[in-house]
Structure 1
Amino acid sequence: MSLADPARLSPHVKDLGGGFLVRRLLPSAGRQAVGPFLFFDHFGPITATPADNHDVRPHPHIGLATVTYLFEGAMMHRDSTGVVQRIEPGAINWMTAGRGIVHSERTPDDLRGATRRSHGLQLWCAVPAAHERDEPSFQHVPAAALPERSESGVTLRVLVGEGHGLRSPVRTLSPTVYVDYRFAGAAAALALDVAATERAVYAVGGRLRLDGELLPEHTLAVLAPGTTPTLEADGEARAVLVGGDPLGPRFLWWNFVATDKALIEAAQDDWEAGRFPAVPGETEFIPLPPRRPRGG
């Protein structure tokens, strides 16, 4: 498989200021999703100072589930269902937007005056069409509740779904897998024993090889169905595997996902008109971006 193969996706990189880089792998020009995952952002690592402000003000979502996973740092999640949850490394935080939710992600107050690290993944999953208009909800599964084991120099954690003989307690609306791999050093290797209709491996950091071929850092490699490739490291490294059953194409606009454009247009109107539920304790919000005229 050559590096020009469309099964290998490179990120679009955006600097949010102060060297805070976000790498977006999905959606891409050639592929909207892998399984249910249709948005894949890798942010950091960065060392933030007390002068830095990377807070994300309240903003809305419909028709998707956000999946937040940190390698370093912490953030405070607040949403319109009343949930207030500190997010820390190793935990899975799964927010189902359903018919509409608003949330913010801010630096915890105890870290604002400190030099701090920030590094993690923000993913979105489509939800089955029958659940697009469900009640919004949030589930937090702490790091200690997620299954983990070490073998052949690799520590693996099954964050969502099943793989390597382990099962995550995270509840999903369709078959979904998400596994974190941490390689201790050179010669660490592991067969990716994870069954799913669609799968992809992302090189978070370090020097990795997939079935003997270099997998460049920050590359998402879509795996052939029915295979069990071997992932190995030339030193300390980290990777994640994502996948599951595909749910079909979706319309995406800003923070909205839907099977029907009319749902997105309605969400645009509702956000502009202030009809989304408020986040308790929040007064700020992110305005709706400019949109095309209807039918445009």
Structure 2
Amino acid sequence: MIDLVIDQRRKDLGGFEVGRVLPYAKRRMIGPFIFFDRMGPADFQAGFGKEVDVRPHPHIGLSTLSYLFDGAMTHRDSVGVTQPILPGEVNWMTAGRGITHSERFETLREHGGRMDGIQTWIALPVEDEEIAPSFNHYAPDVLPTYEEGGLWARLIAGEAFGAKSPVKTHSPMFYVHWHLNAGAQADLPAEYPERAAYVAKGVVEVDGHQYHEGQMMVFLPGQAVLFTAITDAVVMLLGGEPIGPRLIDWNFVASTKERLEQAKADWRAGRMKLPDADDQEFIPLPEPSPPANPMS
């Protein structure tokens, strides 16, 4: 039933820790999901430094999906959008042939509080890799929800459990937020060939084994999966149809190395427009580390 268990790797991004799950050496993608980062959880005092902000940076060949449990941040991008995001809302940005954006924490900086959420990258199908960049924001009340027997569920994106999210996607996929009360049970059906579940809070039991916060279970195809909550738990379900292998270089995703190299050259040369509301700084392209001196 379970093919692989991935433990998140904690990584400091300059004053703010994330738990990186995907990509992973033994499993690069789950359906179209090619990147999965847990942002926090972290508690901030009012007045923290701006080094926590994510300065303008570029993307190609993917959509980003930001979803918060706690806190707030503000998205600014090169198609002219400035959009705060609050818990339960969905920020869906499609990079296509190229977009730049930043993520700022002005509200949190002013008031302090907890920051906790997940950002995923969803790779675009080959035929959509060069579409025009765009951005869409969705309020929680437009997303399908379900509640019964100690389970509360929200369908964030895609189609699952007989429901369809209004979030515009580009390939068959699903992304679901579950909250399970201790003792509750719920099934993940076998309708997609690639499926996984990330435990965001608490402890759940699957196939006689317990899994805790920060772990992702990757499931074999063809069987429904029964979850039992050992404690109150939050679980994120994700997956879909595979779209073929993808390459990642820094913030770029593409189906060919040549396209990655072009994107890097464009960013290095300043050919990618910065966000209208946030064009005073940017993250430079990381340069390869020089080879080690064998005599040192």
| Fold agreement, TM-score > 0.5 | yes
Structure 2: how far apart are the matches of 1:221 and 1:198? 11
1:191-238 CA distance string (max 9 Å, x none):
113621210011111011113321232111111212111111112110
Which is further off, 191-200 or 276-285? Answer: 191-200
**Secondary structure of the structure 2 residue equivalent to 1:262:** helix
Structure 2: how far apart are the matches of 1:92 and 1:73? 13
Is the CA contact 1:163–1:194 (under 8 Å) kept in the aligned structure 2? no
Please point out which of 69, 82, 94 is paired with 1:96.
Answer: 94
Structure 2: how far apart are the matches of 1:51 and 1:216? 30
1:247-289 CA distance string (max 9 Å, x none):
1111100000101111111111111111001211221100100
1:125 paired to 2:136 = no
Structure 1: how far apart are the matches of 2:122 and 2:220? 21
Please point out which of 87, 110, 115 is paired with 1:113.
Answer: 110
Please point out which of 214, 218, 222 is paired with 1:222.
Answer: 218
Structure 2: how far apart are the matches of 1:152 and 1:86? 34
Superposed CA RMSD in Å reads 1.6
TM-score (norm 1): 0.93
One-letter code of the match for 2:141? A
> What corresponds to 2:78 in structure 1?
80
Structure 2: how far apart are the matches of 1:156 and 1:194? 17
1:233 paired to 2:229 = yes
> What corresponds to 1:179 in structure 2?
176
> What corresponds to 1:62 in structure 2?
60
| 1:268–1:292 CA distance, 2 compared to 1 (3 A) | farther
Displacement of 1:113: 2.2
**Secondary structure of the structure 2 residue equivalent to 1:265:** helix
Structure 2: how far apart are the matches of 1:129 and 1:29? 23
Please point out which of 131, 141, 146 is paired with 2:143.
Answer: 146
* Aligned residue pair count: 287
Determine what percentage of the aligned residue pairs are the same residue.
46
Is the CA contact 2:143–2:166 (under 8 Å) kept in the aligned structure 1? yes
**Secondary structure of the structure 1 residue equivalent to 2:110:** coil
> What corresponds to 2:192 in structure 1?
196
Is the CA contact 2:3–2:219 (under 8 Å) kept in the aligned structure 1? no
TM-score (norm 2): 0.93
Displacement of 1:151: 1.3
| 1:203–1:262 CA distance, 2 compared to 1 (3 A) | same
Structure 1: how far apart are the matches of 2:250 and 2:102? 15
**Secondary structure of the structure 1 residue equivalent to 2:111:** coil
Please point out which of 124, 129, 133 is paired with 1:136.
Answer: 133
Q: Which runs of 5+ in 2 are unaligned?
A: 291-296
Please point out which of 247, 254, 259 is paired with 1:251.
Answer: 247
Is the CA contact 2:71–2:108 (under 8 Å) kept in the aligned structure 1? no
